[in-house]
C-alpha cells in the first residue's frame, strides 16, 4: 500500500493542462456499445474507474485497446448482455451500461451497483426511465430488463446525472423519438450528446432540462476527444488557494467552474479566466476570508464534487463558512481528518460550519472517498509541516497521477510504499 508524503508551506507556481473528465469518459465508454464500428477516444484519463469500465466492455465482447490517453473500442463483437456482480461492484457508475445494453441487445442482466462512501446510491430513477420507454424491469435477485425500448416521454423526478445519461443511451435504440424532461444539465451531459452526434445520432437539448433523442440510431464508428475534468481543476485550484501562489490551468471551460471561482474570488483570491483556461493567484500574506453559505446543487449550482476540496481550502481563513450538502447523505468524511490537521469544523447532518483557523498542521490522515482524498492533499499543501496521506486507492479512481500534477506545480509531494 502506498502513501503520499506532502510537505506544506511551498506556494504553487506553474501551468497545467487538466486531464480528461472521469464523469464524461465513463458514459462515453458505455455509449461505444451503440456504435457499429471502431471508436477512438482521446484525452481519456488513466484511472481505476476507467480500467473497470474497459473490463466490462471486454466482458461484453468488445475489443479494447489503451495506449496512453487514447482508447480504441471495437464493439463489433459485442454479444453479451450480463454484467457480473463483481464487475458491478468494481465501479459505482457501472449502472450506466444498462441503457446501451437495452438499446443494442434488447436485454440486460445486472446487479445493484452497491452503495459507496457517499451513502446509498439508489437507481430507482434509472429503472423508472427504462420502464417509461416500455422495457420490462424485474428486480428479483438482481436487475433483469427485457424488450426493445420504444420512444416516448421520460419524466425524471430528480435531475439525476446518471439517470439522464442512461435514458439518453437507451433512447438511441428506441423506435421513435424520446423526450427526457427534468434532465440533468451537467457539462458532461453535453459532452455525451456531442459524442453521440459525432457518430450520427440526433440528440438535442443537453445543458437544458429537456433533451430529445431521435431513435433507431445505427451509429457509425468515429473519433472523439473527451472534455477536461472540471472537478480535477477545482481540486488543483483549491490546492493553490490553500498553499498560495499562481496556477494556470488549461483544457477546461471556466464557465463550468463559475460557482467555484466565485467562492475563491469572495475569499480574496484573484481569478482570471478565458475560453480555455483559468488562472488563480493567492497571496499567502493576505489571509483568506470565509464566505457566506455554500450550498451544493445540481448544475449550474455549486458542484457537490467540489465541496470537500473547497472546504479544505477555506479551513485556514478568517471568519466562518457554512456548507450545506444537499446531494448526498455522507459527504463529510473528510471533516474528521481535517480536524486532525487543526481545522475547526462542526457538522450537523448535511450542514458543516467551518470556523477559519490561522493555519493547519501536518498529520497522518486517511482518504475515505475520492474527492475527500483530493481535499486532504489540498489542505496538506497549505499546512505547516508534513502530512502523510493514505487511502490513495480512492484518489486513483478520479485523479490521474495527483502527485505528479502537484509536483509539476512545485509542490513538495512524493508517493512511497508505506
Residues designated as active site: 116
Burial class (CB in 10 A: 0-12, 13-18, 19+), 21: buried
Size of residue set near ligand EPZ by CB under 6 A: 23
Residue nearest to ligand EPZ (CB): 162
- Round to whole Å and give the CA distance between 261 and 254: 8
Residue 186 grid coordinates: 451537467
Q: Which residue in 43, 108, 104, 33 sits closest to 73, CA to CA?
A: 33
Residue from the set 162, 190, 342, 391 that interacts with ligand EPZ by CB under 6 A: 162
User: Residue 280 forms beta bridges with which residues?
Assistant: 247, 271
Residue from the set 61, 114, 122, 319 that interacts with ligand EPZ by CB under 6 A: 122
- Round to whole Å and give the CA distance between 359 and 18: 28
Q: Given the rule CB under 6 A, which of 156-164, 249-257, 272-280, 406-414 is the region that contacts ligand EPZ?
A: 156-164
C-beta of residue 252 within 8 angstroms of C-beta of residue 278 = yes
Residue from the set 160, 238, 259, 387 that interacts with ligand EPZ by CB under 6 A: 160
Considering only residues 296 to 355 of the shown chain, the ones binding ligand EPZ according to CB under 6 A are 304-305, 327-328
Phi, psi of 110 (to 5 degrees): -130, 180
Q: How far is the CB of 126 from ligand EPZ (least distance, A)?
A: 5
- Which CB atom, from 125 or from 360, has the smaller least distance to ligand EPZ? 125
Considering only residues 83 to 102 of the shown chain, the ones binding ligand EPZ according to CB under 6 A are 93
Q: Given the rule CB under 6 A, which of 50-58, 145-153, 157-165, 347-355 is the region that contacts ligand EPZ?
A: 157-165
| Interface with ligand EPZ, residue 103, by CB under 6 A | no
Phi, psi of 413 (to 5 degrees): -135, 140
Q: Given the rule CB under 6 A, which of 10-18, 119-127, 143-151, 356-364 is the region that contacts ligand EPZ?
A: 119-127
Omega before 328 within 30 of 0, i.e. cis:
no
Q: How far is the CB of 125 from ligand EPZ (least distance, A)?
A: 3
| Interface with ligand EPZ, residue 25, by CB under 6 A | no
Residue 77 grid coordinates: 463483437
- Integer CA distances (angstroms), 160 to 69, 172, 243, 335, in order: 28, 19, 34, 26
- String of contacts with ligand EPZ for each residue 227-266, x by CB under 6 A: ----------------------------------------
- Which CB atom, from 163 or from 315, has the smaller least distance to ligand EPZ? 163
Q: Where are the beta strands (DSSP E) in 203-359?
A: 203-204, 210-213, 222-225, 245-250, 270-274, 277-282, 294-295, 320-324, 344-348, 351-355
Q: How far is the CB of 370 from ligand EPZ (least distance, A)?
A: 5
Q: How far is the CB of 232 from ligand EPZ (least distance, A)?
A: 10
- Which CB atom, from 120 or from 216, has the smaller least distance to ligand EPZ? 120
Listed in sequence order, the residues at least 6 apart from 255 whose beta carbon sits closer than 8 Å to its beta carbon are none
- String of contacts with ligand EPZ for each residue 390-409, x by CB under 6 A: --------x-----------
| Interface with ligand EPZ, residue 375, by CB under 6 A | no
Coil, helix or strand for 196? helix
Residue from the set 19, 185, 282, 371 that interacts with ligand EPZ by CB under 6 A: 371
Q: Where are the beta strands (DSSP E) in 56-207?
A: 63-67, 70-74, 107-110, 136-138, 143-146, 150-155, 175-181, 203-204
Q: How far is the CB of 283 from ligand EPZ (least distance, A)?
A: 30
In this structure, the chain runs to a length of: 418
Tell me 113's DSSP state.
-
Q: Which residue in 170, 249, 230, 241 sits closest to 203, CA to CA?
A: 170
| Interface with ligand EPZ, residue 126, by CB under 6 A | yes
- Which CB atom, from 363 or from 378, has the smaller least distance to ligand EPZ? 378
- Which CB atom, from 342 or from 372, has the smaller least distance to ligand EPZ? 372
C-beta of residue 249 within 8 angstroms of C-beta of residue 18 = yes
Residue from the set 28, 29, 31, 125 that interacts with ligand EPZ by CB under 6 A: 125
| Interface with ligand EPZ, residue 295, by CB under 6 A | no
Residues making contact with ligand EPZ (CB under 6 A): 22-23, 26, 93, 121-126, 158, 160-163, 184, 304-305, 327-328, 370-371, 398
Amino acid at each position: 500500500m502506498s502513501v503520499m508524503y506532502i510537505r506544506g508551506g511551498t506556494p504553487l507556481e506553474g501551468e497545467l493542462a487538466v486531464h480528461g473528465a472521469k464523469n464524461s469518459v465513463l458514459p462515453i465508454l458505455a455509449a461505444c456499445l451503440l456504435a457499429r464500428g471502431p471508436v477512438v477516444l482521446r484525452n481519456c484519463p488513466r484511472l481505476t474507474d476507467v480500467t473497470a469500465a474497459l473490463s466490462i466492455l471486454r466482458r461484453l465482447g468488445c475489443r479494447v485497446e489503451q495506449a496512453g490517453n487514447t482508447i480504441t473500442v471495437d464493439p463489433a463483437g459485442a454479444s453479451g448482455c450480463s454484467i457480473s456482480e463483481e464487475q458491478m461492484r468494481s465501479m459505482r457508475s457501472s449502472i450506466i451500461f444498462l441503457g446501451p445494453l437495452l438499446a443494442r441487445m434488447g436485454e440486460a442482466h445486472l446487479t445493484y451497483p452497491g452503495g459507496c462512501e457517499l451513502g446509498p446510491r439508489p437507481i430507482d430513477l434509472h429503472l423508472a426511465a427504462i420502464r417509461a420507454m416500455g422495457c420490462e424491469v424485474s428486480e428479483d435477485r438482481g436487475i433483469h430488463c427485457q424488450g426493445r425500448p420504444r420512444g416516448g416521454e421520460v419524466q425524471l423526478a430528480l435531475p439525476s446525472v446518471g439517470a439522464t445519461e442512461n435514458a439518453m443511451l437507451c433512447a438511441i435504440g428506441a423506435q421513435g423519438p424520446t423526450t427526457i424532461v427534468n434532465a440533468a444539465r451537467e457539462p458532461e451531459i453535453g459532452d455525451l450528446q456531442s459524442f453521440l452526434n459525432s457518430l450520427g445520432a440526433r440528440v438535442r437539448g443537453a445543458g437544458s432540462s429537456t433533451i430529445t433523442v431521435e431513435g433507431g440510431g445505427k451509429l457509425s464508428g468515429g473519433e472523439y476527444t473527451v472534455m477536461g475534468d472540471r472537478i480535477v481543476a477545482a481540486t488543483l485550484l483549491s490546492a493553490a488557494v490553500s498553499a498560495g501562489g499562481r496556477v494556470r490551468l488549461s483544457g477546461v471551460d471556466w464557465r463550468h467552474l463559475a460557482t467555484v471561482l466565485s467562492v475563491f474570488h469572495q475569499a480574496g483570491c484573484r481569478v482570471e479566466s478565458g475560453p480555455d483556461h483559468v488562472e488563480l493567484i493567492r497571496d499567502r500574506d493576505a489571509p483568506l476570508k470565509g464566505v457566506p453559505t455554500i450550498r451544493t446543487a445540481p448544475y449550474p449550482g455549486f458542484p457537490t464534487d467540489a465541496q470537500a476540496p473547497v472546504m479544505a481550502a477555506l479551513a485556514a481563513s478568517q471568519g466562518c463558512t457554512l456548507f450545506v450538502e444537499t446531494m448526498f447523505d455522507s459527504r463529510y468524511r473528510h471533516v474528521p481528518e481535517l480536524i486532525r490537521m487543526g481545522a475547526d469544523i462542526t457538522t450537523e447532518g448535511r450542514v458543516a460550519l467551518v470556523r477559519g483557523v490561522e493555519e493547519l498542521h501536518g498529520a497522518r490522515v486517511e482518504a475515505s472517498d475520492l474527492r475527500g482524498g483530493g481535499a486532504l492533499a489540498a489542505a496538506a499543501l497549505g499546512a505547516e509541516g508534513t502530512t502523510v496521506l493514505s487511502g490513495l486507492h480512492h484518489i486513483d479512481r478520479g485523479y490521474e497521477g495527483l502527485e505528479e500534477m502537484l509536483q509539476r506545480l512545485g509542490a513538495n509531494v512524493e508517493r512511497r510504499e508505506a
